[in-house]
Amino acid sequence: MADGSQAHRRPLVAGNWKMNLTHLEGAVLAAEVAAALPSPVPVDVVLCPPFTALQAVGDVLAAAGGEVMLGAQDLHWQERGAFTGEVSAGMLAALGCRYVIAGHSERRGLFGETDEMVARKAAAARAAGLIPIVCVGETLEQRRAGRVEAVILGQLEAVLAAVSPDAGLVIAYEPVWAIGTGEAASPADAAAVARLIRDRLRQAGPGAGDVRILYGGSVTAENAAGFLSEPDLDGALVGGASLDARSFAAIVEAAVKP
Ligand code: 13P
């Protein structure tokens, strides 16, 4: 059923811990998150700790029943070799990761990642059996210049040249101006961009209706329901609020579709 209706897409809430928490602190938070969620966990939930905490967090999640999944925040597109400091998709898969974020705006903006690099990362993730969560989003300057569509479609273009749209792809719409600022997009604006993304995905392949589209950017326990009740949004990519188990659990609860 790839008709674009949301009924068959299982909501997804991912916590991006960014460069926070040691492996010891991460293990504690992972245990708190697992304990705060109902069992069975009603939607897909993924924790994305720093590389250094993947093993410890993965162990805690497995011991808690393995319902909450493990994800990484980045990867390199090569399988192995002389790439000092980098981590491959295969290494992440071997640690039990199921998801990996690619092209977060902090990677693009602070570390010079291009659309092509992001596309290669998405393809490498899929080749290793991981689901890439590919981030797209415009800056405030671009939004003010009326370039939201052009920016989002441009970022998508490179991904679609490398990866076919299907259930093994997640797109996260994260407007750069909403990240870590406390100033979230409106649910209607986020849903409008999600529709734009879905329409473009549809042109690229019959599996487009299976791609989950998330919103990210200052999602909190208080505002999550507004986004997650939008039929065009299939979940959330959460930064700051994912560092608190109760807030994160409340966001997961808001993602359960009636
Ligand atoms: P905040 O939720 O802290 O705004 O971060 C969003 C984000 O960048 C998730 O990847």
Full set of structural domains in the chain with CATH? 12-254 (3.20.20.70)
Cβ of 239 less than 6 Å from ligand 1:
yes
Pocket test for ligand 1, best of 218, 220, 223, 227 (most atoms within 8 A of CB): 218
159-175 pLDDT per residue, tens? 999 999 999 999 999 99
- 174 flagged as catalytic: yes
- For residue 75, the number of C-alpha atoms closer than 13 Å in the C-beta half-sphere is 35
Average pLDDT, rounded, for the chain: 96
pTM for this entry: 0.97
Instruction: Specify the pLDDT at position 257.
Output: 78
258 confidence band (pLDDT: 50, 70, 90)? confident
Q: How far apart are CA 174 and CA 7, in angstroms?
A: 23
180-227 pLDDT per residue, tens? 999 999 999 999 999 999 999 999 999 999 999 999 999 999 999 999
Could you say which of 106, 138, 174, 230 is catalytic? 174
Other CB atoms within a 10 A radius of the CB of residue 204 amount to 17
- 116 flagged as catalytic: no
Mean per-residue pLDDT for 73-77?
A: 98
- Cβ atoms of residues 219 and 249 within 8 Å: no
Q: Whose CA is nearest to atom 5 of ligand 1?
A: 239
